[in-house]
């Protein structure tokens, strides 16, 4: 059957006999980056937005849950072994500046231990922990602050335990307080620590900077930038100067921001710069910093000049060990250099070179992931590996159940149980050597470290 066609329907236009190709260009106009107080110029607004998202991605981590689980397990073990003990969790996890490679730090007080010094007390604790299921690699490391090193088997988190380490508690409290004042500080701290670890700027046992020194350097920059991002809390609260006591590890119990606002001592949020601008400003600040004539003092709230009297004795709180990089301990009454592990001019030059190179790389490539894969890819890989291991464990349990059932069947009786194909080991397809790998710039070798002795004595753990 043929359908009828209406006569009043318009006819389709005829196709042109000749096709003409017209050259046309699409002009895309990008917005320029916003002005900021850090002196950083982004050519495109989207570049700044991209780097902001990348820096904020350091707050996304499944490792945080592993740290929490290992922390609870250690506390239960201490309560079982030493009911009279008191534990303080310290370090980056407690201060809220942990990254995916962070471990756990504890300092404990155990009245029932009668040994004469911390090292022998930790040896006694090691003997008891050897009998506790769930921990491995138990040994005591000597140093200015002896440390018992454990490893939680289930989460594979390393745990460092010290005895009566009040300095570590105060350092953690300081970082926690500054994290309360501005949410940009802990995010910047995580990005900075990840970068410093990758390029090996961090590494006190190798004659470089320790983690706490780097955090103090970041705080100093955020105090120096105009307008300031962070205030000098030790100037506003004089009672925080000196070796005050930290009663417990509830570091956020005291809200300093509310009290500062009540006093009107500092105007928060006056600096609107993004974390991208602040991170680049931090890198550029120390790439050009003159460590030969200046030193870092968070306690004073600004950069200080190195000065000596006629007899070459340091003035104005400058620590004795002040030849190279100086980062003042903000609490000790006797001045001490937290960055005293840096003892070579070649290391100072290399550290500043790494600051400069990272600054240039980010502006050139419009990303902070120039030396490693992005956090999103890392998290997907880690979660995939965990799931693979879970699947293998489930398959092994099923195979064990099938084997037990088969053992109870009389000889010659056919077994009709479920057959489970054997999966290949996950390591076979985790091998990235057989896959396409993005080639990153290799970090050159560091200069040889002279005078390696006594470096651990100057290390301040965080």
Q: Where are the domains of the chain?
A: 63-164, 168-365, 375-404+417-434
Lowest mean pLDDT among 38-42, 199-203, 423-427: 423-427
Relative to beta strand 157-163, strand 304-305 is unpaired
Total residue count of the chain as it appears in this document = 462
Nearest partner of 86 among 163, 23, 150, 142, judged by Cα:
163
Per-residue pLDDT tens for 154-184? 999 999 999 999 999 999 999 999 999 999 9
384 to each of 22, 377, 390, 445, how far by Cα in Å?
Answer: 50, 10, 10, 33
pLDDT-derived band at 363 (thresholds 50, 70, 90) equals very high
The class (CATH top level) of 63-164 is alpha beta
pLDDT-wise least confident of 67-81, 241-255, 276-290: 241-255
Q: Are 287 and 358 in contact (CB under 8 A)?
A: no
- How far apart are the C-alpha atoms of 250 and 396, rounded to whole Å? 43
pLDDT in tens, 216-259: 999 999 999 999 999 999 999 999 998 888 988 899 888 999 99
Q: So what's the pLDDT on residue 136?
A: 86
Q: How far apart are CA 340 and CA 109, in angstroms?
A: 28
The per-residue pLDDT for range 6-22, each reduced to its tens digit, is 667 777 777 766 767 66
In whole angstroms, what is the distance from residue 213 CA to residue 211 CA? 6
Q: What is the distance between the alpha carbons of residues 444 and 273, in angstroms, rounded to a whole number?
A: 33
Choice between 285 and 247, residue whose per-residue pLDDT is larger:
285
What is the token pair recorded at 209? 């900077």
Q: What is the mean pLDDT of residues 110-125?
A: 91
Q: Which residue has the higher pLDDT, 137 or 198?
A: 198
| Of 64, 86, 91, residue with least CA distance to 75 | 86
pLDDT score at 417: 59
Domain 168-365, classified CATH 1.10.1410.10, yes or no:
yes
Which pair of tokens denotes residue 156? 């594979």
pLDDT in tens, 309-342: 888 899 988 998 888 999 999 998 889 999 999 9
Residue 433 above 70 pLDDT?
no
pLDDT digits 0-9 by tens, 381-428: 888 888 888 888 888 888 888 777 777 777 766 666 566 667 777 766
Q: CA–CA separation, 163 vs 116, rounded Å?
A: 12
């Amino acid at each position: 059957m043929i359908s009828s066609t209406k006569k009043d329907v318009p006819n389709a236009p005829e196709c042109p006999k000749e096709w003409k190709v017209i050259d046309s260009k699409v002009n895309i106009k990008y917005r320029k980056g916003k002005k900021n107080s850090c002196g950083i110029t982004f050519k495109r607004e989207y570049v700044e937005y991209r780097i902001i998202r990348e820096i904020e991605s350091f707050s996304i981590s499944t490792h945080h849950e592993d740290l929490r689980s290992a922390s609870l397990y250690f506390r239960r073990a201490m309560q079982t072994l030493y009911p009279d003990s008191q534990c303080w969790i310290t370090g980056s996890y407690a201060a809220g500046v942990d990254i995916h490679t962070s471990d756990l730090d504890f300092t404990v007080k155990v009245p029932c231990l009668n040994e004469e010094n911390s090292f022998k007390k930790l040896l006694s604790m090691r003997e008891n922990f050897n009998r506790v299921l769930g921990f491995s690699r138990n040994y005591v490391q000597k140093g200015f602050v002896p440390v018992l090193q454990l490893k939680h088997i289930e989460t594979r988190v390393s745990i460092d335990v010290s005895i009566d380490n009040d300095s570590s508690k105060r350092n953690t409290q300081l970082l926690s307080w500054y994290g309360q004042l501005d949410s940009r500080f802990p995010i910047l701290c995580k990005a900075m620590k990840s970068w410093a670890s990758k390029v090996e700027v961090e590494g006190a046992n190798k004659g470089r900077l320790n983690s706490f020194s780097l955090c103090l350097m970041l705080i100093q920059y955020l105090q120096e930038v105009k307008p300031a991002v962070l205030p000098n809390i030790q100037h506003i609260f004089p009672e925080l100067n000196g070796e005050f006591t930290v009663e417990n590890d509830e570091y956020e119990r005291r809200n300093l921001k509310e009290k500062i606002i009540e006093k009107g001592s500092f105007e928060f949020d006056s600096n609107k710069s993004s974390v991208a601008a602040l991170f680049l400003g931090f890198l550029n600040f120390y790439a050009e910093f003159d460590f030969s004539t200046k030193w870092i003092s968070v306690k004073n709230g600004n950069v200080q000049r190195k000065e000596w009297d006629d007899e070459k004795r340091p003035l104005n709180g400058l620590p004795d060990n002040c030849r190279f990089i100086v980062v003042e301990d903000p609490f000790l009454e006797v001045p001490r250099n937290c960055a005293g592990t840096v003892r070579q001019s070649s290391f100072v030059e290399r550290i500043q070179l790494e600051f400069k190179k990272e600054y240039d790389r980010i502006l050139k490539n419009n990303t902070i992931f120039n030396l490693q894969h992005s956090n999103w890819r890392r998290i997907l890989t880690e979660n995939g590996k965990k799931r693979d291991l879970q699947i293998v464990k489930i398959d092994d349990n099923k195979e064990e159940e099938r084997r037990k059932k088969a053992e109870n069947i009389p000889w010659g009786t056919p077994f009709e149980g479920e057959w489970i194909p054997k999966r290949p080991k996950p390591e076979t397809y985790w091998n990235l050597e057989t896959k396409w790998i993005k080639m990153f710039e290799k970090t050159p070798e560091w200069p040889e470290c002279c005078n390696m002795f006594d470096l651990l004595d100057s290390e301040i753990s965080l």
